[in-house]
Each structure stands twice: as structure tokens, then as C-alpha cells.
Amino acid sequence: MKIGVLVSGGGSNLQAIMDAVSVGVLDVEIVCVGADNSGAGGLNRAEKAGIPTFVTDYSAHFARWKEGVPAPDDFSLEAVADRQSLMKGAAPAALKGFLEKRAIAEADLLAQLAPYKLDLLVLAGFMRVFTPYFIDGFTTGSDLPRIMNIHPALLPAFPGTDGYGDTFRYGCKVGGCTVHFVDYGEDSGPIIGQSSFPILPGDDLDAVKEKGLAEEWRLFPECIRLYAEGRLKVVEHQGTRVVEILPAG
């Protein structure tokens, strides 16, 4: 199975996935690593391991949109706006800008990923949301979702960009991380796996992050392994799409 990994930062989850592959507990091939910024430390980790890398510079694409570069030819504002649930209730002009500038970046990302013919795209600390333009463009022809994300909170609590921070500031006594398929909302797709840890008196935010990352490094390769073994099935349960984990063999 060919997987691609996207990162925005240091890439410790990417490292955990690469390590699981190299010790033989995860039977996949990591064929490319991409980032939304050229400073992402994960790119260096990939290069050291001899994995091809690329950058889709989101900030540069957003600047191009500001200068008047139009959305891609195959982008339909109406169709994408109808399907998305990232910006519910937003004013039409704000939604248009939000979707159009992302579609410009996403078209570049789709083009850079296309040659690798991936079975699965793994978001390992990738700090961008995808619009339906990207998700449908990437997933075409597949029944099973093909984009998997790790989130630093026990979803559906604390979606967004600072899962551990939000968990800690709320005074939670348990924190955790979640691996899920990506759908048209923010951190709202079917949950594949979760892992939790206690938040003890005296723990500061750094301690919470440290405990959380240790869980992530174990959980993420495990969820990718279930996917690679064909053991994940998305089913409808009381109106919600949930993941059923099939027995081994």
C-alpha cells in the first residue's frame, strides 16, 4: 500500500510512522512527504530517510488569490459551498474567499500528489483544513475514505488548531488523541481510534503535550495498519457514519 504524508511542523508523527515501517510492524510504503511550508521540520526527516518531498506553499497561493489569480477551472463555487461544513452560516463573500483561495492551493497539492497514485493520504500535524474540492478530487473512485488525520484531543471535544491547549485550559482530567477519516467538516469525520491519558494535579501544558504525543506515536501507526489490512469499514449507525473495525484475518 502506498501512502503519502503531509506535515506542517516538526514531524514527530511522521517519524513514528517511518519507524514503524522500518521495524516491520507497518507494511506500507511511504512514497512522498509534502508540507504546506518549506520550513516544516518533517521535510528534513523525510529527506534523511530518502523519501521524495514537495511543498505546496499555502501562504504564497493565498497571496496569488489576493492579487487576482482566479480559482481553478474545474472549481465550482456553488458545488463546493453546498457540500462543505467548515464555515456554516458564513456570509457569502467570506465563504467565497475562504473556498477560492484554498482551491488554488489545493489544485497545486492535487497535482503534486497525482503522480504517486496513493492509496492513503495521512495528515501528520498538517495544519490546514481541506475543502470538498480537494477531498473529492483526491478520493475519486474509492468507496472508503482515503484521507486520515490525527487530532490532539478526544473528538468530538476540542476540534480546531490547539487540541491539547483547549483540553488543558478547560480543566479536563483526561486528555487524549484521535485518529479519524477526513470529511467535509473540521475534525468531524468517522473516528478510527482514540487513546487517552490522565491529566494530574501539577501537570502543565508541556506535560500534557508530552503525554499526548507519546500516545499519538503509538496510535497513528496502529490505525494505518488497520487500514492497510483492509479492516476498516465505514457504516451508517443511527444517522452517523462510524468506523467498524473488522477482526483480523
Residue 198 in 3-state DSSP?
Answer: strand
Alpha-carbon distance 116 to 121, whole Å? 11
Q: Give me the least distance between CB of 159 and ligand GAR, in Å please.
A: 8
Q: Give me the least distance between CB of 235 and ligand GAR, in Å please.
A: 25
Q: By C-beta, is 77 or 86 nearer to ligand GAR?
A: 86
Q: Give me the least distance between CB of 212 and ligand GAR, in Å please.
A: 6
Phi, psi values for residue 201, rounded to 5°? -55, 135
Q: Could you tell me the three cell numbers for 80? A: 463546493
Q: By C-beta, is 81 or 214 nearer to ligand GAR?
A: 214
Alpha-carbon distance 226 to 224, whole Å? 5
Alpha-carbon distance 191 to 214, whole Å? 19
Q: Which residue is nearest to ligand GAR (CB)?
A: 125
Do residues 163 and 180 make contact, with C-beta atoms less than 8 angstroms apart?
no
Q: Which residues are catalytic?
A: 151
| DSSP 8-state assignment for residue 36 | S
Do residues 113 and 122 make contact, with C-beta atoms less than 8 angstroms apart?
no
Q: Which residues sit at the interface with ligand GAR, rule CB under 6 A?
A: 7, 9-13, 42, 124-125, 127, 150-152, 161, 163, 177, 213, 216
Q: By C-beta, is 121 or 150 nearer to ligand GAR?
A: 150
Alpha-carbon distance 32 to 50, whole Å? 10
Q: Give me the least distance between CB of 153 and ligand GAR, in Å please.
A: 8
Give residue 17's Cα distance to chain centre. 14
Q: By C-beta, is 71 or 131 nearer to ligand GAR?
A: 131
Q: Give me the least distance between CB of 148 and ligand GAR, in Å please.
A: 12
Element (DSSP H or E) covering residue 4: strand 2-7
User: Residue 74's CB: how many other CB atoms inside 10 A?
Assistant: 10
Q: By C-beta, is 75 or 149 nearer to ligand GAR?
A: 149
